[in-house]
Amino acid sequence: METNKPLLKVDNIGIRFGGLRAVSDVNIELFPGEMAGLIGPNGAGKTTFFNMLTGVYVPTEGQILLNGKKLNNLPPYKITRNGISRTFQNIRLFGELSVIDNVKVAYHSQAKHTLFSSILRLPGHFSGEKEMEEKATEFLKIFNLDRFKDEKAKNLPYGQQRRLEIARALAANPKLLLLDEPAAGMNPHETKELMNLIAFIREQFNLTVLLIEHDMPLVMGVCERIYVLDHGQLIAEGTPSEIKNNPKVIEAYLGEEVS
Amino acid sequence: MAIFKQAKHFWTYIVLSLVIFGVIQFMITGQMLNLFYVNTLIFIAINIILAVSLHLIIGITGQFSIGHAGFLAVGAYASGIITMKLELPFAAALLIGGLVAALAGFIIGFPSLRLRGDYLAIATLGFGEIVRIVFLNLDYVGGASGMQVNHLTTWPWVFGCILIAILVIVNFTNSTHGRACISIREDETAADAMGINTTYYKVAAFVIGAFFAGIAGGLYAHNFYIIQPSNFGFLKSFDILIFVVLGGLGSLSGSVIAAVLLTVVSTFLQDYPETRMIIYSIVLIVVMLYRPQGLMGTKEITSIFSKGKRSKGGAKDGNKQTVA
């Protein structure tokens, strides 16, 4: 399956906060079209790892390469423009903006009209805004969110907010999508729907996906490869069935066996 | 279709505001308004410009700036120097006053807006005081006794400036660039993650806000015959901040209404100097108790007229309020 060239190559990455090594020596390679999961106990450094990939934190060691391009030290918005987009563990929508405007914000970096043309309302402004409106409307239809189009994002039900957050991340046109606990707070039915959605977007947008999740059925169900993080270090890597039976993983989750 | 509709609204507002302009101009030339009312009117108008310029920074972009009087002072002194020392026309003075204030805004904004959190509040607070003290000690502009300035500010000038300020800010807000600013206000981390160059937009909004505060400064300077550093103290910054907060953070028409109301209240309270600040404070406390989200919340006046539609910014309603 594996093609020769990885999309994302994380090389010995690590970060210290003062004397604390939150993450160290993590190596991950993701290949185009792959669906991978990142699991680990609470506080293992999963979200910190995501924050390094997206530029929120600057890694103190190692490097991140996307299609061979070095991404460390780039500000978050440039990393997004290079093709890594994410969702957040606790939903971070633009609550006061309407659903469609949330998507339009993600289209912003592809906007053709300048600040100047908007202030003077030059023709470029109108055509640019119109194009954005049409694109965003079409996009919301794919996610069945077009009926909420003009609703404020904060007024959506929880499950729909998750959906919108994923839609918004996709609107930024990523090559790699990072999902941080997308099923958090969802009931089994909503989780099932989410699994379908993830499978669908992967097909539709030809994406590589890395997801953090505590919901094991979900991870085992959709991921082809799983990485396990504990105390900031990668302790295992493999297919779902390999991970399930890996003694190190069981130890990390359930504690050491008494001998 | 939507664009045509929008354009129709746009021209309705423009015509409406020009009618208001004409009526007031007619009343002034016909001497139906005495000098006191004309002065109050101009003062209200200047406060509206200040309120909408700060609205862009705090209400739209969510950056807490508490030194707006500093930009007012920079604009006032810069334009005063242009007309009095260099003897150039008033239009040039206003423009240069705005540009100098915008430059000051860039110098303050660029380093402090790259960071998140309260740095901007602290930097602008310091900036306001530094500006005041610099002018206090600058003999070229008269020091503490102030600088003589000709009376040039008239109703047409003030009206023109309001119109431009509101048009620019509304056009900015109702575009992808304005949405970028609102997304920063709503959640800066998420805005960053969506590919928004947050520093750029924070600085852009801040500089545009400072520019219009500078223009307001030019109008202010040429309305009073004299400008003194004490006019631009810390309390002036807070007056402007109160317009924005009281009107409702994120509502342009709200900040305009608040600017009008509070200016009127404080002007008429001038007859009772002993109780003026007490009554003024009580008004603020009552409003904050009963409408903690501000007079307008995040809504705009136009959204009340076109019910059900999304708000498109309270554009020219601002001018309607100047009649009040």
A82-127 pLDDT, tens digit per residue, is: 999 999 989 999 999 999 999 999 999 988 889 999 998 889 999 9
Contact criterion met (CB below 8 Å) for B158 and A100 = no
Question: Mean pLDDT over all residues of chain B?
Answer: 87
User: Looking at per-residue confidence, does B48 or A158 come out higher?
Assistant: B48
Look at residue A258 and give its three-state secondary structure. coil
3-state SS of chain B: helix, strand, coil percent to 5? 75, 0, 25
Helix (H, G, I), strand (E, B) or coil at A183: coil
Q: Does A248 touch chain B (CB under 8 A)?
A: no
Top mean-pLDDT range of A164-178, A181-195, B305-319:
A164-178
- Cβ of A71 under 8 Å from any chain B Cβ? no
Residue entry with tokens 């919108």: A164
> Which residues, 6 or more positions from A107, have their beta carbon under 8 angstroms from its beta carbon?
A132, A135, A136, A171, A172, B176
Q: What angle do CA A195, A196, A202 make, to 5 degrees?
A: 90
pLDDT at B303 over 80: no
Residues A228 and A243 sit within 8 Å (Cβ to Cβ): yes
Number of H helices, E strands in chain A: 10, 10
Chain B contacts of A113, Cβ < 8 Å? 175-176
Displacement of CA B128 from its chain's centroid (Å): 16
Structure tokens given for B166: 């509101």
Q: What is the pLDDT of residue B225?
A: 87
Considering CB atoms only, which of A77, A95, A118 is closest to B177?
Answer: A118
Q: Give the gap in angstroms from C-alpha A259 to the nearest C-alpha of chain B.
A: 47
Max Cα separation, chain B?
59
How many CB pairs below 8 A link A and B?
A: 106
The residues in A 97-126 lying below 8 A from B, measured between CB atoms, are 97-98, 101, 104-109, 111, 113, 115, 118-121, 125-126
Mutate to test the interface with B, among A51, A80, A92 (most CBs of B within 10 A): A92
B293 and chain A: CB distance < 8 Å anywhere? no
State chain A's mean pLDDT as an integer: 89
| φ, ψ at A13 (rounded to 5°) | -80, 150
- pLDDT at residue B308 in the model: 43
Q: Tokens at residue A186, please? A: 């969802």
Average pLDDT, integer, range A59-76: 91
Q: CA-to-CA distance for A110 and B314, rounded, in angstroms?
A: 28
Closest partner residue to B195 (CB to CB) among A94, A118, A172 is A172
Spell out which residues of chain B touch residue A119, defining contact as CB-CB under 8 Å.
Answer: 168, 171-172, 175
pLDDT at A224 over 80: yes
Structure tokens at B310: 């999304």
pLDDT attached to residue A18: 86
**Token couple for A143:** 């996610």
Banded pLDDT at B323 (limits 50, 70, 90): very low
Contact B298 A93 (CB under 8 A): no
Query: Nearest chain B Cα to A170, which residue?
Result: B194
CB contact under 8 A, B176 and A118: yes
What stretches of chain B adopt beta strand conformation (E)?
A: 147-148, 226-227
Say which DSSP state B55 is in. Answer: I
CA gap A223, A72 in Å, rounded = 26
pLDDT score, position A3 = 53
* CA B101 – CA B140 distance, rounded (Å): 19
Positive or negative, the CA dihedral B152, B156, B162, B168 is: negative
Q: Which residue of A has its CA nearest to B165?
A: A119
What are the two backbone dihedrals, phi and then psi, of residue B92, each rounded to the nearest 5 degrees? -65, -40
The mean pLDDT value for B76-98 works out to: 93
Give ipTM to 2 decimals.
0.90
Please give the DSSP secondary-structure letter assigned to residue B85: I
Which residue does chain B place closest to A124, by CA atoms? B175
* Cα-based angle A78, A79, A80 (whole degrees, multiple of 5): 90
The answer to whether B210 and A124 are in contact (CB under 8 A) is: no
Distance (Å, whole) CA A254 – CA B228: 73
**Residue B307 contacts A, CB cutoff 8 Å:** no
Angstrom distances, CA of residue A245 to CA of A27, A236, A237, A241, A251: 22, 11, 12, 7, 11
Q: Which residues of B touch A51 (CB under 8 A)?
A: none
- Distance between B113 CA and the closest CA of chain A, angstroms: 15
Inter-chain touch B177–A115, beta carbons under 8 Å? yes
Residue that has been written with the tokens 């390999």 in this structure: A242
* Cα within 13 Å of Cα(A100), Cβ side: 18
Full-model pTM: 0.89
Count how many Cα atoms sit within 13 Å of the Cα of residue B196 in the half-sphere of its side chain.
34
List, in sequence order, every residue forming a beta bridge with A233; answer none if it has no partner: A230
Distance from C-alpha of A125 to C-alpha of B128, rounded to nearest angstrom: 36
Of A101-105, A217-221, B106-110, the least confident: A217-221
Neighbour-count burial for B187-225, b at 16+ CB within 10 Å, e otherwise: bbbbbbbbbbbbbebbbbbbbbbbbbbbbbbbbbbbbbe
- Other residues' Cβ atoms within 10 Å of the Cβ of residue B266: 17
Distance, C-alpha A117 to centroid of its chain = 33
Question: For residue A64, what is the enclosing H or E element?
Answer: strand A61-66
Ordered by start, the domain boundaries in chain B are 38-233
Q: How far is CA B279 from CA B37, B270, B304, in A?
A: 22, 11, 31
